[in-house]
Amino acid sequence: MEFSDFCRANGLIVNHSLQYDKWVPTPTVDHPRSNNGRYKFLGEVGWAINWATMDKPATWFADGKTKNSPEIRARINTSNTERKQLADVAADRAASIMECCRLDTHPYLEKKGFEKEQGNVFIKDARKILAIPMRCNSQLVGCQLIDEEGRKKFLHGQVSKGAVFMIGTKGTPIFCEGYATGLSIRDILGKLNLPHVIYICFSASNMELVARSIGRGIVVADNDPNSIGERSAKNTGHPYWISETVGEDFNDYHLKHGTFKASQSLKKLLLSLKNGPQSA
């Protein structure tokens, strides 16, 4: 299999000549309007990752080559060193971005039903950028940036595996993908007066990873067209909520059906903790 075919098999859209020895952002089949994929090509070895469905890059080798080939091992070691360096740079950049932020409203939050919500916002080219800090073991490793149109991106080279944004400090662990979904869950649980810790995980695969590492709680999954949200939820072994409508997440459900119906749906899921894993 050629490397370009390998990228496509992992969901990346590569409609250009391959670039050499750098991480290249690309659209993906599930997110064709954003650069949610990355690849790095070194001739006889390469890597590809789709952030929505994978928690680490998949590795490709040219025909006849394996990870034990001396030249391949040398290139992999070099790549690992470069990834660590990029991760350190990304963490420093995230810290700088967060220092530049001030609490403010944002068009994305308004669109998601939180007109008065204030988030970490900085100004770039006269436009508001919402910054969601991402932490692993309380250490800042990167951030998700959301522009005024709702386009999202991560910092180049940042660590995303295991990275979360948390809301709340005690109570039932609740795992979800998106920031707006987390805010809807927070508002609903606040009205139900139920203590909670919400883990916003930024992707389905990372949600699965984090939920399994915590070992208990509930999952609020996105109903993705490719079903990755529900597959990840099932893989956690936890009770999970998912909309019956394809393409809908809990924030969409909250906006469409209102607080009362959304609260009853989530309350039903919390009660299901007593009866073992099931969908709601």
Domain positions in the chain are 3-91, 164-280
Element (H, E) at 192: helix 179-192
Strand residues in the chain grouped as ranges (E): 24-26, 37-41, 45-50, 58-61, 102-104, 119-124, 127-136, 139-146, 152-154, 165-170, 172-176, 196-200, 218-220, 240-241
Extract the tokens encoding 240: 């999970």
Among residues of the chain, what percentage have pLDDT more than 90? 68
Extract the tokens encoding 241: 């909520």
Q: Measuring CA to CA, which residue among 181, 246, 169 is closest to residue 207?
A: 181
The arithmetic mean of pLDDT across residues 203-209, rounded, is 92
* Res 274: pLDDT: 59
* Res 136: pLDDT: 96
State the number of CA atoms in the 13 A half-sphere of 168 facing the CB.
Answer: 21
* Res 279: pLDDT: 40
The arithmetic mean of pLDDT across residues 174-182, rounded, is 97
Kindly tell me if the per-residue pLDDT of 132 is higher than 70.
yes
Direct distance between the N- and C-terminal alpha carbons of the chain, in angstroms, rounded to an integer: 41
Q: Model confidence at 77, in pLDDT bands (50, 70, 90)?
A: confident
Kindly tell me if the per-residue pLDDT of 169 is higher than 90.
no
Say how far apart CA 159 and CA 197 lie, in whole Å.
22
Provide the angle, in degrees to the nearest 10, between the axes of the packed helices 228-236 and 204-214: 10
- 92-120 per-position pLDDT tens digit: 999 999 999 999 999 999 999 999 999 99
Say how far apart CA 219 and CA 205 lie, in whole Å.
12
Kindly tell me if the per-residue pLDDT of 78 is higher than 50.
yes
| Residue positions counted in the chain | 280
Question: Taken in order 103, 137, 167, 57, is the CA torsion positive or negative?
Answer: positive
164-280 belongs to CATH 3.40.50.2300: yes
Q: Model confidence at 275, in pLDDT bands (50, 70, 90)?
A: low
CB 80 within 8 A of CB 58: no
The arithmetic mean of pLDDT across residues 62-84, rounded, is 84
Say how far apart CA 44 and CA 63 lie, in whole Å.
8
